[in-house]
Chain A
Amino acid sequence: MMLLKHLRTSIIAIIVFTCLTGILYPLAVTGLAQLIFPKKANGSMILKDGKTFGSELIGQPFSDPKYFWSRLSATGPFAFNAAASSGSNYGPINQAYLDGVKKRIQDLKAVDSSNTQPVPADLVTASGSGLDPHISVAAALYQLPRVARIRNLNQDQLRSLVSQYTEGRQLGFLGEPRVNVLKLNLALDETQSLSGGK
């Protein structure tokens, strides 16, 4: 008898709470979000002249030396697949991981042989999401001489462009200073016509 009573209550309660927390709650939040923050609720797209150039929150892969490169991405079957986020999940002494780091350093040196600085850690490691839109300021500065040389740009000029796309710590102390790679590269293409180069 007690069992049946609780079973009946359970079934009705599941229906009631499904309506409340599974339908009304998410739809209400969607409605409010679309009303108050439509751009953010729909993915913070970068719009120019009515065209969409990706999302400012989702990174893209770059291998051309005229662009700043993003971090490594472990998503499959191609890097920065934003429909299947993934980290590498390599353990710290896994040989496959260490080989990947070595290869990345070689790739960076291959297009910038004169650069003898140590490579910043974030530039040789894969992000957790595989979609990290940022690199550290150090990683941008590491690549700056290369991009400047290929694009025939003055390094100081490029440095000011990098700092324009550098996001500081929020409230002055939260998070890390970082450079949005896609936005920086879009700005590079827009403000500067390539002379010479690859």
Chain B
Amino acid sequence: MTLNGILQIAFYLAALTLLTKPLGAFMARVYQREKTFLDPVLGPLERLIYRLTKISPDEEMDWKANAVALLIFNFVGLIVVYVVQRIQQFLPLNPQGMAAVTPDSSFNTAVSFATNTNWQGYGGETTMSYLTQMLALTVQNFISAASGMAVLALFIRGIARHSAKTLGNFWVDMTRSTLYILLPLAIILSLVLVSQGVIQNNSAYVSVPFLQATADTGGVKVTDQVLAMGPAASQIAIKQLGTNGGGFFNVNSAHPYENPTPIADFLEMLAILLIPAALCYTFGKMVKDTRQGWAIFAAMMLILVAAIFWMYGVEGSGNPKLIALGVDQQSTSENPGGNMEGKEVRFGIPNSAVWATVTTAASNGSVNSMHDSYTPLGGMVALIMMHLGEVVFGGVGSGLYGMLIFVVVAVFVAGLLVGRTPEYLGHKIEAYEMKMASLLILIMPITVLVLTALAVVTAAGKAGIMNPGPHGFSEILYVFTSQGNNNGSAFAGASVNTPFYNLTGGLAMLIGRYWLAVPTLALAGSLVKKKLVPVSEGTLPTYTPLFIFWLIAVVLIVGALNFLPALALGPIAEHFMMMQ
């Protein structure tokens, strides 16, 4: 670790924390349908959308109607993404003449973008036309994120209200998330990114001469370099803000046209956690007790900081196998040092390590370095952040509702320990709530571990492995961990654009998204009906440092119980082999 590296990390965390309150307060106004400074511009547009779609903005719905709206809306979106990929060769804005995407890959990508996973089984610049990137992928980047935020808004109302029936209106929350939050931020961010060098055009790929001609693997002379082009900035801005992560190019934000400078990198990294962090404050505001929001923010932040420094430490110390070869891995002001395989010089170790940690914490899944080439313990941090259930800030909306499920469990276990009826913010936590919470916590590990086991015992699964030994197991574990948690990042060496992985992965993403979102809404539907339990001496306060540490402990213990054996077979075994 260097002083400069620590300074960059501190600056990042400070910027994130400072923006939490203003943006969080603004989002609370959006979800409570209060006046905002954007009303003069966006109000007419919002009303026009309601008129066209025949949405009655004042009509509230119970949890079931909202769940049906979510599922149907996402299903229709998924179909559109599938169809556009299949017929892109007949559509305009395809200067490279990209052919139709295969059915299994189209299915996987459609599920991937509708579920806010944005797993990329394909390479953007070799597969997708500009129109597909815009119509299919950019649109989903907005509406899948807005869907997650809408589910959160509905869930928060379930906690904020008592003796009620309805949670709000999914359509209104989804529309307002897109118009008032995602769209303005995306426009600003995309233009700032262009100012740094991110491309934004509809041109055909550009051919330029190599200064020194080279040869391909077959020995054929290559004199020109073809530079991939396209409307990248507009998609990158929203893929970062909406914790989507599906990049314009194959290597995502490691590509210099997607992430050209340290400032661009800083802003893209900030965009990953900006909304998930601010939603903690929004939550506090909507339940009329901002301490509750800050307590959850603190629990998430403490886990994140520990993970960032662990990641930075192991990546910065480099690869012991290279020391013997006479490689200088010492970090100085002239040498980024450390484990540079798969990393870019302009970012160095600290910015790569922070990105890898926050993108897996946040279910974003974009990358600015190749996780497959991380040291075993570095790659393990990325796996762990996902294994915790994407609740350390997590996806926009989904991260916070995931963490609130853990809060329910923490309150329940604490209640059992002291022999009191568990309650959270005036709601009694009873058998039905605990059934839903247990279901929510168990579905993800079961999906991930069963599919990993299936892949390691079948020929089709093993065919995807690239690196030999325990690392190969880590690659497969990462595939299903990432998709089962709607993250989308990868140990990208694994060849996953095959029918086996496209179909099993698609299944994991569908379960990871909807099998969690629907019980979450059911839980909210049950909480909202309960009578207010007044605060008494027996009430466990859920904003104290003691509770914050208790919540962290519950999250870590559940994660460790689920995944420690699998991690021992992969990264931990590989670590010991590396140290030999």
Please, how many angstroms separate the alpha-carbon atoms of A28 and B343 in the complex? Answer: 33
Residues of A within 8 A of B203 (CB): 42
- Give the complex CA separation of A117 and B69 in angstroms: 65
Report yes or no: A88 in contact with B370, Cβ–Cβ below 8 A: yes
- Residues of A near B63 (CB, < 8 A) are none
Q: Are A63 and B212 in contact (CB under 8 A)?
A: yes
Picked from A67, A91, A167, A185, the residue with its CB within 8 Å of the CB of B372 is A91
How far apart are A2's CB and chain B's nearest CB, in angstroms? 6
Query: Does A120 sit at the interface, judged by CB under 8 A?
Result: yes
Instruction: Assess whether B250 is in contact with A86, with CB atoms less than 8 Å apart.
Output: yes
Contact A92 B231 (CB under 8 A): no
Q: What is the CA–CA distance of A79 and B123 in the complex, to the nearest angstrom?
A: 17
Q: Chain A: which residue is nearest B136 at the CB level?
A: A22
Contact between B370 and A21 (Cβ–Cβ < 8 Å)?
no
- In the bound complex, what is the Cα–Cα distance between A135 and B198 (angstroms)? 20
Contact code string B328-361 (vs A, CB < 8 Å = 1, else 0): 1100111111111111111110010000000000
B-side contacts of A71, CB under 8 Å: 345
* A16-B52, A84-B123, A88-B373 known; A26 vs B234 contact (CB < 8 Å): yes
- B345 and A3 within 8 A (CB): no
**B321 x A37 contact (CB < 8 A):** no
- Is B235 at the interface (CB under 8 A from chain A)? yes
Given contact pairs A33-B200, A105-B326, A175-B265, A91 touches B138 in the complex (Cβ within 8 A) = no
Closest chain B CB from A29 CB (angstroms): 4
**Which of B134, B175, B202 contacts A22 (CB under 8 A)?**
B134
Point out the residue from A16, A53, A97, A131 that lies within 8 Å of B341, measured CB to CB: A97
Smallest beta-carbon distance B135→chain A, Å: 4
B459 sits at the interface (CB 8 A): no
Give the contacts of A1-44 with B (CB-CB under 8 A).
2-3, 6-14, 16-18, 20-23, 25-26, 28-30, 32-34, 36-37, 40-44
Chain B: minimal CB distance from A74 (Å):
9
How many residues belonging to B are interface residues under a CB distance threshold of 8 Å? 131
Q: Does B225 contact A (CB under 8 A)?
A: yes
Separation of A85 and B327 alpha carbons in the complex (Å): 26
**Given A14-B80, A18-B80, A176-B347: A36 and B255 within 8 A (CB)?**
no
> Per a CB cutoff under 8 Å, which of B183, B225, B263 touches A82?
B225
Q: Which residues of A contact B30 (CB under 8 A)?
A: none
Q: Given the known A-B contacts A11-B76, A84-B123, A105-B326, are A77 and B346 also in contact in the complex, defined by CB atoms under 8 Å?
A: no
Chain A CB count within 10 A is highest, among B201, B212, B250, B341, for B341
Q: Would you call A145 an interface residue if the criterion is a C-beta within 8 Å of the partner chain's C-beta atoms?
A: no
From B201, B215, B344, B574, A42 is in contact (CB under 8 Å) with: B201
Q: Is B195 an interface residue (CB 8 A)?
A: yes
Contact A176:B346 (CB < 8 A) given known A63-B212, A82-B227, A101-B325: yes
CB of A155 within 8 Å of the partner chain: no
Q: A62 CB to closest chain B CB, in angstroms?
A: 5
* Interfacial chain B residues near A26, Cβ < 8 Å: 134, 138, 231, 234-235
**With A136-B336, A138-B334 as contacts: A93 and B574 at CB distance below 8 Å:** yes
Chain B residue contacts of A41, Cβ below 8 A: 194, 199-201, 233
Q: Please state if A58 and B367 are interface contacts (CB–CB under 8 Å).
A: no
Contact A25 B138 (CB under 8 A): yes
- Residue A119 at the chain B interface, CB threshold 8 Å: yes
Once bound together, how far apart are the Cα atoms of A17 and B4, in whole Å? Answer: 43
Known: A84-B123, A177-B333, A177-B334. A119 touches B201 (CB 8 A): no
Contacts of B227 in A (CB 8 A): 43, 55, 58, 82-83
Q: A23-B135, A78-B216 are in contact. Are A124 and B327 (CB under 8 A)?
A: yes
A14 CA / B146 CA spacing, docked (Å): 13
- The interface-forming segment of B185-193, B290-298, B540-548 is B185-193
With most chain A CB atoms within 10 A of its CB, the pick from B69, B125, B373 is B373
Instruction: Tell me, rounded to whole Å, the shortest Cβ–Cβ distance linking A152 to chain B.
Output: 19
B318 at the interface (CB under 8 A from A): yes
In contact, A176 and B336 (Cβ under 8 angstroms): yes
Cross-chain contact of A92 among B8, B175, B229, B578 (Cβ < 8 A): B578
Cα(A110)–Cα(B298), bound, Å: 55
B117 within 8 A of A: no
4 closest A-B pairs (Cβ-Cβ)?
A175-B262, A89-B493, A128-B254, A138-B335
What are 15 sample pairs from A and B whose C-beta atoms fall under 8 A apart? A12-B52, A29-B187, A33-B191, A40-B194, A57-B256, A59-B256, A61-B212, A87-B372, A88-B342, A91-B471, A92-B374, A128-B343, A132-B344, A169-B4, A182-B211
B: residues with CB less than 8 A from A are: 4, 7-8, 11, 49, 52-55, 65, 68-69, 72-73, 75-77, 80, 123, 125-126, 134-136, 138-139, 141-143, 171, 175, 178, 183, 186-187, 190-191, 194-203, 205-206, 208-212, 214-218, 222, 225-229, 231, 233-235, 238, 249-251, 254-257, 260-263, 265-266, 318-319, 321-322, 325-329, 332-348, 351, 367-370, 372-376, 466-469, 471, 474, 491-493, 574, 577-578
Residues of A within 8 A of B (CB): 2-3, 6-14, 16-18, 20-23, 25-26, 28-30, 32-34, 36-37, 40-45, 52-55, 57-64, 67, 71, 76-95, 97-98, 101-102, 105, 117-122, 124-139, 141, 167, 169-171, 173-178, 182, 185-186, 189
